[in-house]
Structure 1
Amino acid sequence: MRVGSGLLFRIGQIFLFYLLLLWLAVMLLAGNIAALPLLLTPRAFREPLMQRAISATFRLFLDVSERSGLMVLDLGALDVLNRQRKMLLVANHPSMIDVFLIISRVRSAICLMKASISSNIFLGVGAYMAGYVSNRHVSFMLRNAATAVEKGSLLLAFPEGTRTTRQPVNDMKPGVALIAKRANAPLQTILISTNSPYLSKGWKIWRAPQFPLIYRARLGQQLRACDCPAKTANTVQSYFEQELAYSIDPRMRA
């Protein structure tokens, strides 16, 4: 009887999981279409509006996911960042959902994003109109990112360059150090921990994990970029390794 009840509960969770994914896809696609007229407006008007709209959409999805019992979230530590300006937010990157976690709480952040996002029908239009910075051309990326931060933006970046494949973090890239140095801005570290490999490298979005998914984000130290980008990258690397070494769930260890 218990086995049967457990199986039915699992089936219910999976059904709800796919229903929420479908709902998210509809929200993102409809939002992109509804936002198209904003292309005719000045960037100074549309970018803050789109940043807040994206944040609200992500937060709504995560709130419903939590209320449904599929997720347990501890993200409140990020709220203080809404009172900050001119800063790089650098986080470890265990899964693809990390962007949702941070942007859902930091309403006016922009992202350093992969070029492939630009052609994504669910995310591309919104990302462009929110002023997110593409990494398609490295020189343009560094210049545009530094300019955005100099003007007061909070720029979210994942210095590993891809999702974590070696626990607790991959080798850090020097790009964020160059941006921070050019913009004369601090690197605010964000430490993300989870109990699940869902949406880690190679995990397809439609492959159902075990529930609940538990995510926690906490603020770490602020670090300063020095004149040597490689040295700064090593400092960031050491800090993340030290802070995350004992917070990695055993199920996440390779």
Structure 2
Amino acid sequence: MLKKVLNYYWRLAATGLSFCLFGAVGILFWGLLFPLIAPFLGNGLQKKRRSRRIMQYIFRLYMDFMRGIGILNYEVHGGEHINTPGNLVVANHPSLLDVVFLISQIRNATCIVKPALANNPCMRIPIRAMGYIYAEESEALLEHCAQELHEGAILIIFPEGTRTTPGKPFKFQRGAAAIALQAEAEMLPITIRCSPTTLTKQEKWYQIPQKKFTLQLDVGDHIRLSPIVDNASRSLATRRVTRYLEQYFIEQLAHHGKS
């Protein structure tokens, strides 16, 4: 009993330390050090890819740090195709760490960032260097996403738009489907599982589970659009693809729950 209590409070303290470390890296590395090395990363596509590689390396170290101090375990299944250039990664979103976990596994990852983050003094320079996509007017956003995919970037999209509410059904937005149709890109579905659940939208960082949690990535097969769309109009095709994705993730998580 005492061992469990000590382990709980150790993980609580280690979780607080991890959050502080994340903020410190954001300020010290991205705010102070990165502007000094950015001029040596090249220009254009080369600079974006090198900057994204640095981000992947930092996030991988961060995941390994949290695993090393006993907060979590993580697993990746079927990840041999995750770094195929031009992948449109579509994932569910159970926890706060999903973006960090995904980027830690992807060499040339890009994503859509909110204006508030893009205007953050510490993050503005690296976000521009990595070429992350601003959440802008819809048509411009679609074109920008399609351009990144055609250049070989791997775009991460969470169709829910926010973290999953445990116990409630999926409600996907149509953005992922619209981007796939605009870019004529196959989608790579990745199912993220967090057991036991933690860092959901309803939980504070200090509301940790009673035991160490495990994050798991299950990389599925590429989803081709043509069998789903079947010459439908753009609006109907978008709805069909969105429903297909919802059903895919419902089935994947239901299957896991029975196994």
TM-score higher than 0.5: yes
Given the alignment of the two structures, is residue 233 of structure 1 paired with residue 242 of structure 2, yes or no?
A: yes
Q: 1:9 to 1:174 in 2, by over 3 A?
A: closer
Q: 1:69 to 1:91 in 2, by over 3 A?
A: same
Q: Distance in 1 between matches of 2:157 and 2:243?
A: 16
Deviating beyond 3 angstroms after TM superposition, the runs of 4 or more aligned structure 1 residues are: 119-125, 166-169, 205-211
TM normalised by structure 2 equals: 0.85
Equivalent residue for 1:9, pick from 3, 7, 10: 7
The answer (yes or no) to whether the contact 1:160–1:169 under 8 Å persists in 2 is no
Please give the per-residue CA displacement for 1:168-201, whole angstroms capped at 9, x wherever unaligned: 7522222111211221210100011111332211
**Aligned counterparts, 1:45-194, within 5 A:** 45-75=46-76, 77-82=78-83, 84-120=84-120, 123-165=123-165, 167=167, 170-194=170-194
The answer (yes or no) to whether the contact 1:29–1:121 under 8 Å persists in 2 is no
Structure 1 stretches lacking a partner, 5+ long: 250-254
Let me know the Cα RMSD of the aligned residues.
2.3
Structure 2 stretches lacking a partner, 5+ long: none
Q: Distance in 1 between matches of 2:80 and 2:65?
A: 19
The answer (yes or no) to whether the contact 2:18–2:66 under 8 Å persists in 1 is yes
TM normalised by structure 1 equals: 0.87
Question: 1:23 maps to what in 2?
Answer: 21
Q: Distance in 1 between matches of 2:57 and 2:255?
A: 32
Q: Distance in 1 between matches of 2:206 and 2:47?
A: 32
Q: CA deviation at 1:137?
A: 2.7
Please give the per-residue CA displacement for 1:85-110, whole angstroms capped at 9, x wherever unaligned: 11200001111211111110111111
Q: 1:50 to 1:207 in 2, by over 3 A?
A: farther
Question: 1:43 maps to what in 2?
Answer: 44
Question: 2:204 maps to what in 1?
Answer: 204
**Among the aligned pairs, what percent are the same residue?**
24
Q: CA deviation at 1:66?
A: 1.0
Which stretch has the larger CA shift, 119-128 or 66-75? Answer: 119-128
The answer (yes or no) to whether the contact 1:89–1:157 under 8 Å persists in 2 is yes
Q: 1:53 to 1:217 in 2, by over 3 A?
A: same
The answer (yes or no) to whether the contact 1:146–1:183 under 8 Å persists in 2 is yes
Q: 1:39 to 1:139 in 2, by over 3 A?
A: farther
